[in-house]
Structure 1
Amino acid sequence: MTPARRAALAALRQTLDRGQDIQAAVDHLLRDLAPSERPLATELAYGTVRLLGRIQALLRLLLPRFHRLSLLTRRLLELAAYELLFLRVPAHATRSWATQGAKKLLGAKLAALVHASLRRLEAHADLAHDETAFLASAGSIWEWFSLPAWIWALWEQERGLDAARELAAMSLTPAPVGVRLRGQVPPDIAERLRPVARFGGQKGMALETWPQCLEAAEAQGLAVRMSLASQEAVLGLEPLSWPQPVWDACAGRGGKALLVHDLGKQVLASDPNAFRLRGLRNDCRRLGVDLPILQADARKPPLRIPPGTILVDAPCSGLGVLARRPDIRWKRTPDDVTVLARLQAEILDAAGRTLPPGGMLAYLTCTVSRQENEGQLDRLRAQHPQLRLRHCFMTPPEWGEVFFAALLERS
């Protein structure tokens, strides 16, 4: 087994069996790999997690005792199945490393099972790419889209079948790399960005990859990494009209706080998580930005004077960013949505009490759940009738991520 495949297998174990975020697991393991090995390790880890539901359905069909195998055996089979079915690697090469790896890790008997299973899977490879054949032979519509049944049911019930299919298909397409441009980018760099740009926005782009030509711009603070959908969610709420100061009450790493600051607004950022705030402080130093930062719980506003605008980028279930964070689909539960909705309600209630007359409340999530989105607005306005909804929208799935955004004003 090559170092890249060993790292990918370890990342699967860390993510699926021990609960670590896939980005953290992969980033940690990449440190020990040669640069030439890193792309394959990343593709194998993210791709297997992204398509795990479809892969498992096929393995259960062809290997009835699949669910009885040890976790290590199943992860090895899932990793090899992703490579066999979805990457341009010769089938004999995949079978070879998987069998040898199984022999070393699991013993000769299970190595023979792995080899036979992959041969059988190769013979039925068409099922992995033909939805009609898959549904007739292997599994359900949610397994085809590699989703837990509850997420598919939620989207179909709340958004309808066509929208559910669109959201599910989006979740299987690797998310683009977002860039926000902070200044006047040299014309030659702008020209070199066009071939790798999927979409363009008001301040940035969604790119296929992060090109070498942006390295210098990033080092100079002219370009920062930020998804296009998250940028457009903020910009669509007309931040130039927001009264000052703007309090970003759930700032996290502060991407949105820095965006609003770059628009010329006075911004205060806070978050309860010290680790995320350290990252924000580092970004502020790198970009030469003087941003007041507090460690505080948004449910207990730390400000003596009410802010003009409160930005609530709320903790949420993340169902709109499954393309970027595919492990979320296997970690979230319906109970998580309820718990997070309760937290969101507490944060919004605190914001509603804090906001002065004429003040604005910008509410953002990266999820597709009425309980966390439209339902929160209905509840908030019923409890705070002085809040008037000015604007509400969701970013389109074709951007690779879905953000919900709403702007309210207190009369």
Structure 2
Amino acid sequence: MSRPKNIRHQALMVLLAQAEEGKPLDRVLAQHLVRHPLADPRDRQLLMAMVYGVLRWRGVLDEVAARYSRHPLAKMKPLTLAALRLGILQLLFFDRVPAAAAIDETIKALQVVRQPRWLTGFVNALLRAVARDRGQIKMPDELHSHPEWLRQRWLARYGQESTRELCRINNLLPPLVLRVNLLRTTVAQLATQLGQAGIEVEPGAFVPEALLLPSYQGRIEELPGYGLGWFAVQDQAAQLVSLLLAGGPTGRYLDACAGLGGKTAHLAQLLPPASQLLALEPQLERFTLLQENLTRLGVAALTRQQSLEEFVADRSRDGHGGGVFQGILVDAPCSGLGVIRRHPDIRWNRQAADLAGQQERQVALLGLAAELLIPGGVLVYAVCSHEPEENEGVIARLLAACPHLTLDDPRPRLPAAARSLVGEDHFFRSLPSAGLDGFFAARLSKN
């Protein structure tokens, strides 16, 4: 598509790029804004509201569009369907946008990319019909904001009331959560700086080092203290996962799937003095950001652009075997279905069949990690998913294959307010209904 001419045009560009490239929406949006920066913060907020809104409510938007279209949605071109979704979203969910402006600007976005007159006429007529009837439109159940396969899984497991509540929460704008970097500042000092900047701040309910910014929608880099490394963006559930590896003796520790380094930086803060921390991340883009984040936060950790499989293979070639680490965190690649409220595109990019493949990878990673533990060492497994295949199913297979591992009770490592998140089965589970991202974690010891 050509250079963006209005905010609707930009929204269409981002939606189509995300669908074509299959990358996470936040990454596609960030790359788009680098190429096409918006000087006015209000334009940036509107763009984000449109893009995220379309993906949060896509199922509902499609049902409404289907009622007014003689053409099956499945046969429409991606651009046409994206324009319909974008227009209907504004008409049904954006109270402050006049209907005429929503329709006209959406049509202009199609005209910029030289869509034929008959197609812009079709989109225009459908949107005007929705605008005419919007006071009488019976909205589809919010369950339909999630794909059929996913909501059927949740209905079977949670029941209708809890599933509807989960879908509702997944479509709310979650608060920005900061983890205060105690290596650089204090909770009180950062909260004061944020308050003086006119930013609403709330204390975390589960983690003392957490601060919630419920109404902030600006750029992270513009928050007070960002350049000084005073904080990392990290949900409370993710912060609690790092605590499961805390409290051990001085030794060597491994973050086997470091990603962007949120948990790596937290672990570095938690480990006993004189401990060594190694972080592995195979993807170049993520590895570069990992190093940048650790530098900004003032964290001392070794990093390698390697996967856990590559790290173990190198050790084997060099003749090194057996355990070497006192503690290992495996924040494994997963479906990400527990963080849909932050990443609404995930629900549309996953299928039920993906879960079995994820489990195979997760079990394999844990098997490699278990061999790297010294006797008495601790292994923490975590995923941002509450699907059984990636949770209890993984641990059951791991314990069957590794009888030298024992499941621990992680509650003593958690703040008192968070201990209710651990069940009698000793598994840590957090759900969006508690105001947290959906995480599962287990702590295991090597006999």
TM-score when normalising by structure 2: 0.82
Determine if contact 2:6/2:109 at 8 Å carries over to the other structure. no
Q: Secondary structure at the match of 1:174?
A: coil
Q: Distance in 2 between matches of 1:196 and 1:121?
A: 39
The structural deviation recorded for 1:126 is 5.2
Q: Distance in 2 between matches of 1:250 and 1:162?
A: 36
The structural deviation recorded for 1:213 is 11
Equivalent of 1:97 in 80, 90, 105: 105
Aligned to 1:365: 383
The structural deviation recorded for 1:107 is 2.4
1:228-267 alignment runs, 5 A limit = 228-235=236-243, 237=244, 239-241=246-248, 244-265=251-272, 266=275, 267=277
Q: Distance in 2 between matches of 1:152 and 1:53?
A: 12
Q: Distance in 1 between matches of 2:133 and 2:441?
A: 44
2:400 equivalent to 1:382: yes
Segment drifting more, 257-266 vs 340-349? 257-266
Determine if contact 2:194/2:200 at 8 Å carries over to the other structure. no
2:432 equivalent to 1:402: no
Q: Which amino acid aligns with 1:148?
A: P
Summarize deviations over 1:291-348 as a string: whole Å, max 9, x none.
1112232235366551011100000000001111111111111222111111101001
Give the direction of change, closer, same or farther, for the CA distance of 1:289–1:329 in structure 2 (3 Å limit).
Answer: same
Q: Distance in 2 between matches of 1:5 and 1:198?
A: 36
Give the direction of change, closer, same or farther, for the CA distance of 1:297–1:178 in structure 2 (3 Å limit).
Answer: same
Question: How many positions carry a matched residue from both structures?
Answer: 400
Identity %: 28
Give the direction of change, closer, same or farther, for the CA distance of 1:198–1:84 in structure 2 (3 Å limit).
Answer: farther
Determine if contact 1:205/1:228 at 8 Å carries over to the other structure. no
Aligned to 2:13: 10
Q: Which amino acid aligns with 2:151?
A: W
Q: Secondary structure at the match of 1:349?
A: helix
Aligned to 1:27: 30
Aligned to 2:62: 56
2:331 equivalent to 1:313: yes
1:181-200 alignment runs, 5 A limit = 181-182=180-181, 183-184=185-186, 185-186=188-189, 188-189=192-193, 191=195, 195-197=200-202, 199-200=204-205
2:156 equivalent to 1:157: yes
The structural deviation recorded for 1:384 is 1.4
Aligned to 2:284: 274
Q: Distance in 2 between matches of 1:204 and 1:367?
A: 21
Segment drifting more, 16-25 vs 50-59? 16-25
The structural deviation recorded for 1:199 is 4.1
Q: Distance in 2 between matches of 1:101 and 1:310?
A: 50
Q: Which amino acid aligns with 1:297?
A: S
The structural deviation recorded for 1:242 is 6.4
Q: Which amino acid aligns with 1:75?
A: A
The structural deviation recorded for 1:191 is 5.0
Determine if contact 2:278/2:303 at 8 Å carries over to the other structure. yes
The structural deviation recorded for 1:402 is 0.7
Aligned to 1:138: none
Q: Which amino acid aligns with 2:129?
A: R
Q: Which amino acid aligns with 2:386?
A: V
Segment drifting more, 369-378 vs 171-180? 171-180
Once superposed, what is the RMSD of the aligned Cα atoms? 2.5
The structural deviation recorded for 1:288 is 2.6
The structural deviation recorded for 1:190 is 6.2
Q: Which amino acid aligns with 1:399?
A: G
Q: Which amino acid aligns with 2:307?
A: D
Q: Secondary structure at the match of 1:320?
A: helix
Q: Distance in 2 between matches of 1:64 and 1:127?
A: 20
Segment drifting more, 336-345 vs 396-405? 396-405
Summarize deviations over 1:92-129 as a string: whole Å, max 9, x none.
1112222344455322222222222112222443577x
Q: Which amino acid aligns with 2:202?
A: A
The structural deviation recorded for 1:280 is 1.4
Q: Distance in 1 between matches of 2:444 and 2:337?
A: 23
Q: Distance in 2 between matches of 1:355 and 1:389?
A: 15
Segment drifting more, 256-265 vs 179-188? 179-188
Give the direction of change, closer, same or farther, for the CA distance of 1:203–1:196 in structure 2 (3 Å limit).
Answer: closer
Q: Which amino acid aligns with 1:80?
A: G
Segments of 5+ residues of structure 1 without an aligned counterpart are: 136-140
Give the direction of change, closer, same or farther, for the CA distance of 1:125–1:278 in structure 2 (3 Å limit).
Answer: same
1:293-304 alignment runs, 5 A limit = 293-299=303-309, 300-301=311-312, 304=320
Q: Which amino acid aligns with 1:384?
A: C
Give the direction of change, closer, same or farther, for the CA distance of 1:380–1:47 in structure 2 (3 Å limit).
Answer: same
Determine if contact 2:53/2:89 at 8 Å carries over to the other structure. yes
Give the direction of change, closer, same or farther, for the CA distance of 1:406–1:119 in structure 2 (3 Å limit).
Answer: same
Aligned to 1:292: 302
Q: Distance in 2 between matches of 1:270 and 1:17?
A: 29
Q: Distance in 2 between matches of 1:60 and 1:346?
A: 44
Aligned to 2:174: 175
Determine if contact 1:170/1:400 at 8 Å carries over to the other structure. no
Q: Distance in 2 between matches of 1:410 and 1:198?
A: 36
The structural deviation recorded for 1:173 is 1.4
Q: Distance in 1 between matches of 2:437 and 2:390?
A: 16
Q: Which amino acid aligns with 1:134?
A: P
Q: Secondary structure at the match of 1:224?
A: strand
Q: Distance in 2 between matches of 1:260 and 1:214?
A: 26
Determine if contact 2:254/2:325 at 8 Å carries over to the other structure. yes
2:84 equivalent to 1:77: yes
Equivalent of 1:125 in 120, 127, 134: 134
Determine if contact 1:386/1:410 at 8 Å carries over to the other structure. yes
Q: Secondary structure at the match of 2:375?
A: coil
Q: Distance in 2 between matches of 1:22 and 1:222?
A: 26
